Chains A and B, each alone.
Chain A
Amino acid sequence: MNCEQVRDLLSAYLDGMLAGDERSLVASHLVDCQDCHSILIDYYRFDTLLTLMPRIKPTPSLSHNLFSSREYYELLRCLEQESFLNSHHL
């Protein structure tokens, strides 16, 4: 396998999503190729950074805006009407 072919498979290799043969070919290429190996290390590092990104809390007003919105009231009204019609088999 050349570097180009391996680079297309590095992401799936990292995720453990390659079948046995392909996995072995990539693994043996990585032993000898410093460039491809450093890309794999980068992928691992960036995955870790993304995983550890701090979560932002939504503002409390988001909940208020959603549950007091006109659209939400209309939705509840529609659901109540549907429920009424269903219960009376209309």
Chain B
Amino acid sequence: MTRVETKECTWSFEQIYDEYKTAIYNYVYHLVGDREQADDLTQDTFLKAFRALPKMDSNLKLSAWLYRIATNTAYDALRRKKLIAWLPWQDLDHEPADAENADPQEVYGTTELVRAALKRMPQQYRAALLLYTQEGFTYSEIAQTLNIAESGVKMYLSRARQSFREHYRALEQGGARR
């Protein structure tokens, strides 16, 4: 069995996968908003991580490093998706057409409202907000993961919360385009 040493301990690939699969999968899913794509991107994330483990920055925690790879993998996919979304009216965050005129409270439960609001946020702020709230990362860990300064994390989280609030309330009131 292949084993790799990190700052914290020695891992097999299977152990790394078992420990982080659910967290990374959910993180990627909320970044891209699509479960099928999240499957593919989670697989890509772990393959890239296994491949690059010998070159891992020894100052980073394994979790921060994995989330960094997951973030970059999801961002690349979102960029590719934007490139192929060539129709001018094609919405990247498309929702089913039958939701068009319905009452948002009936169409969306709270979880769906949260997911929909997340999808409408700028992606870099979305990542910071997810790492802080769902993964319990500190400002310092978010800075390491997103490769930005800690002062930048403060700004990202501030804009993330403003943006999330704006979109959530718009969806709640049915004023947002879906």
Measured CB to CB, the residues of A under 8 A from B are 7-12, 14-15, 17, 39, 42-43, 46-47, 49-51, 53-59, 61-63, 65-67, 69, 71-72, 75-76, 79
A66/B22 in contact, CB under 8 A: no
Main secondary structure of the interface of B (DSSP, over half): helix
B161/A57 in contact, CB under 8 A: no
Bound Cα distance A15, B130 (Å): 15
**Residue in B22, B43, B46 whose Cβ sees the most chain A Cβ within 10 Å:** B43
Other A-B pairs, 6, CB within 8 Å; known A53-B114, A67-B14: A49-B110, A50-B133, A56-B29, A62-B43, A63-B21, A71-B47
10 interchain pairs, CB-CB under 8 A: A10-B158, A17-B139, A50-B129, A50-B130, A50-B164, A53-B115, A56-B25, A62-B42, A66-B46, A67-B14
Bound Cα distance A80, B154 (Å): 44
Which one of A10, A66, A76 contacts B43 once the chains associate, using CB atoms below 8 Å?
A: A66
Bound Cα distance A49, B111 (Å): 8
**Residue in A56, A66, A71 whose Cβ sees the most chain B Cβ within 10 Å:** A66
B168/A62 in contact, CB under 8 A: no
- B120 contacts partner chain A, Cβ-Cβ < 8 Å: no
- B157 contacts partner chain A, Cβ-Cβ < 8 Å: yes
Measured CB to CB, the residues of B under 8 A from A are 2, 14, 17, 21-23, 25-26, 29-30, 35, 39, 42-43, 46-47, 50-51, 110-111, 114-115, 129-130, 132-134, 139, 154, 157-158, 160-162, 164-165, 168-169
